[in-house]
Amino acid sequence: MTRRHESPTDHAVPRRFAGKTAIVTGSTRGIGAGIAERLAAEGANVVVSGRTVEAGEAVVDRIADLSPDESADRAPAGDVTFVRADMRDPDDVAALAEAAVEEYGSLDVLVNNAGVQTETAADKATLDDWAFVVETDFRAYWLAAREALDHMDRGTIVNVSSNHAYATMPAHFPYNAVKAGINGMTRSLAVDFGPRVRVNTVVPGWVEIERTRDELPEGRFEEVESIHPTGRIGTPADVAGAVSFLASEDAAFVTGAALLVDGGRGAVMQDDTLPDYRARERSE
């Protein structure tokens, strides 16, 4: 099977977010970078954020290249800037929202994506492990949402969770507990922030990013693909498309929801009952 390497901009909806401003936390690489690229391609002014300046500036440069010259037959991309922020620092979280408004005059979309994990089991995790994950992946989502609310009028927040919220593996604590918590936080924020702000969650499954490749030994990647009904694992473009939908007016009546983007893995009860979906696709 030929592997897809879609750009996050391949299915962009021109001008969908024209005149809007979006913050994407943890967007210096991986899924976050893909989301930032998609929103910019759809006309949003995007604030890329993360802890590493060099990586953030590289994403900004890549997005800036989306802007066509006058003869190009495509809609103009939005502007993009980088703001360094450590999401464990409440002062940085507040400054991030302020920087977006100062730069672009508004804040319309917040994508909470920043995340870390430890390879620890519940009986082995330390208080430091707990603080590292909970403060980055959970507390920061609440703080960023609260700061964004002060600047939003009919805005949208999309929280990036994980399929670990529903089913998990050993030695993923407290990451898995936090991801389940994010889904609950989304419901709380949707109820408390509505109707002024809609809040939803996108729930990715396996996504091909650098960390995924590192975690899967040789041969295992193809095996994991074969047990997805789609015949492949996801890409940042897949998640970016779901985020774009939830942040857009196409989802104007959607709030407090969690959208599973996992290639059908959540529909599977037992792997040993599945056909090899990659082999099936090759034969069709």
Model confidence over 7-59: pLDDT tens digits? 777 788 999 999 999 999 999 999 999 999 999 999 999 999 999 999 999 99
Say what the pTM is: 0.91
Query: Which token pair is 57?
Result: 């500036």
Question: What residues does 21 pair with on adjacent strands?
Answer: 45
Question: Could you give the CA distance from residue 268 to residue 116 in angstroms, rounded to a whole number?
Answer: 27
Catalytically annotated residue among 104, 141, 166, 175: 175
Low-confidence ranges of the chain (pLDDT < 50): 1-2, 69-72
Q: Please, is 134 exposed, middle or buried when counting C-beta atoms within 10 Å of its C-beta (0-12, 13-18, 19+)? A: middle
CATH homologous superfamily for the domain 21-283? NAD(P)-binding Rossmann-like Domain (3.40.50.720)
What is the tens place of the pLDDT at every residue in 256-273? 999 999 999 999 988 888
How far is Cα 26 from Cα 111, in angstroms, rounded to an integer? 9
Report the amino acid identity of residue 201. Answer: T
| Alpha-carbon 72 to chain mean position | 29
Domain positions in the chain: 21-283
- Which pLDDT value is given to residue 263? 95
**Known catalytic residue at 175:** yes
Specify the pLDDT at position 1: 39
User: Which has the closest alpha carbon to 49: 118, 161, 144?
Assistant: 144
Alpha helices in the chain (DSSP H): 30-41, 53-64, 90-104, 127-134, 140-149, 175-193, 210-215, 220-226, 236-247, 277-283
pLDDT at position 72: 46
pLDDT given at position 222: 85
| Count of C-beta atoms within a 10 Å radius of residue 214 | 8
How does DSSP classify residue 123?
A: T
